């Protein structure tokens, strides 16, 4: 199944929803129309029971998303800017809380809003020629879609401060070293590697993956003792499912499990 959008390509195949940012002439820069369409794609993926994993990438080989559309940004007033920031935060939060794993296949520049969007994905795979960063400070502005919060949680406060206050870009290898991405692959193979990773997830119980992903996200905001207690409750919920019983039985009986997602 595929759907037609002006700035995005959306296709569902083999339980994977593929969202491709498709403005190569401007390095897939984010404008209001693109954010609108991303929200529609995420809603479609959330409501489609055949979709197990979402992969996001960019058209061409130069950019995942090179940042905001500066021409559009230049026309915004402070009031407009706040509204657009809140709107972008809501759409990216929708990605983060989709209930299904998402993988960013970063095929070039992932800067500004593009880096912020990649940070909201569950996992990130980058080509060797990828460049990542939050260069907004070079324009006299700051990240508006939650980049500072996600960067500090993922890589630590020191790294987040350095990237946001200098605006420096980093290579894929450096991003891997600081934990910003999961792996680096030969250029051109990032989408294929994302599909392989998605297929590993799809082979597992959809219900268990959903419980695990939602539980992981919620506990991040809890004090440690509260998170421990919460995880114990999630484990009880998980053990009451058919798939938990089936998985344990299959292991003991040395056979492949037959998941029923219940």
Higher pLDDT, 236 or 94: 94
Nearest in space to 171 (alpha carbons), one of 114, 131, 217: 131
Please give the Cα distance from 60 to 117 (Å, whole number): 18
Q: What is the CATH number that goes with domain 206-252?
A: 1.10.12
Dump pLDDT digits (tens) for 153-193: 999 999 999 999 999 999 999 999 999 999 999 999 999 99
pLDDT of residue 114: 96
Residue 62 pLDDT > 80, yes or no? yes
Integer Cα distance of 201 and 114 in angstroms:
24
Q: Which pLDDT tens digit goes with each residue over 99-119?
A: 999 999 999 999 999 999 999
Output phi, psi for 236, to 5 deg: -60, -45
- Contacts with 236 (C-beta within 8 Å, 6 or more apart), sequence order: none
Long-range contacts of 21-27 (CB under 8 A, 24+ apart): 21/56, 21/57, 21/58, 21/59, 21/64, 21/65, 22/58, 22/59, 23/59, 24/58, 24/59, 24/60, 24/62, 24/63, 26/66, 26/69, 27/58, 27/62, 27/63, 27/65, 27/66, 27/67, 27/108, 27/109
Catalytic (active site) residue 199: no
Name the residue with higher pLDDT: 77 or 212.
212
User: What local confidence, expressed as pLDDT, does residue 172 receive?
Assistant: 97
Confidence (pTM): 0.93
Structure tokens at 159: 């790294």
In which band, very low, low, confident or very high, does the pLDDT at 82 lie, cut at 50, 70 and 90? confident
116 is catalytic: yes
Q: Which residues of 230-248 are buried (b: 16+ CB within 10 A; e: fewer)?
A: eeeebeeebeebebbebbe
Listed in sequence order, the residues at least 6 apart from 166 whose beta carbon sits closer than 8 Å to its beta carbon are 137
Fold topology of 2-202: 2-enoyl-CoA Hydratase; Chain A, domain 1 (3.90.226)
Q: Which candidate in 37, 136, 190, 193 is catalytic?
A: 136
Indicate the pLDDT class of residue 1, thresholds 50, 70 and 90.
low
More confident residue, 216 or 155: 155
Residue-range domain boundaries for the chain: 2-202, 206-252
How much of the chain, in percent, has pLDDT values that exceed 70?
98
Q: Is the confidence at residue 77, as pLDDT, over 80?
A: no
């Amino acid at each position: 199944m595929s759907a037609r959008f002006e700035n995005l390509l959306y296709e569902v195949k083999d339980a994977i929803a593929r969202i491709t940012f498709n403005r190569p002439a401007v390095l897939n820069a984010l404008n209001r129309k693109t954010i609108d369409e991303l929200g529609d794609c995420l809603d479609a993926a959330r409501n489609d029971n055949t979709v197990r994993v979402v992969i996001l990438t960019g058209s061409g080989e130069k950019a995942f998303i090179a940042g905001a559309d500066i021409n559009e940004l230049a026309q915004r007033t402070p009031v407009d800017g706040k509204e657009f920031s809140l709107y972008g935060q809501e759409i990216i939060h929708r990605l983060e809380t989709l209930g299904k794993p998402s993988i960013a296949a970063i095929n070039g520049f992932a800067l500004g809003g593009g880096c912020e969007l990649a940070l909201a994905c569950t996992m990130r795979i980058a080509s060797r020629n990828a460049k990542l960063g939050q260069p907004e400070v070079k324009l006299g502005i700051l990240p508006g879609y939650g980049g500072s919060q996600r960067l500090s949680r993922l890589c630590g406060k020191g790294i987040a401060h350095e990237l946001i206050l200098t605006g420096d870009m980093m290579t894929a290898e450096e991003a891997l070293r600081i934990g910003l991405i999961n792996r680096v692959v030969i250029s051109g193979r990032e989408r294929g590697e994302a599909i392989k990773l998605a297929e590993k997830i799809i082979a597992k119980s959809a219900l268990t993956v959903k419980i695990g992903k939602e539980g992981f996200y919620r506990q991040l905001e809890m004090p440690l003792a509260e998170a421990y207690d919460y995880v114990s409750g999630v484990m009880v919920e998980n053990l009451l499912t058919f798939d938990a019983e089936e998985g344990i039985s299959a292991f003991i009986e040395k056979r492949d499990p037959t998941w029923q997602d219940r």
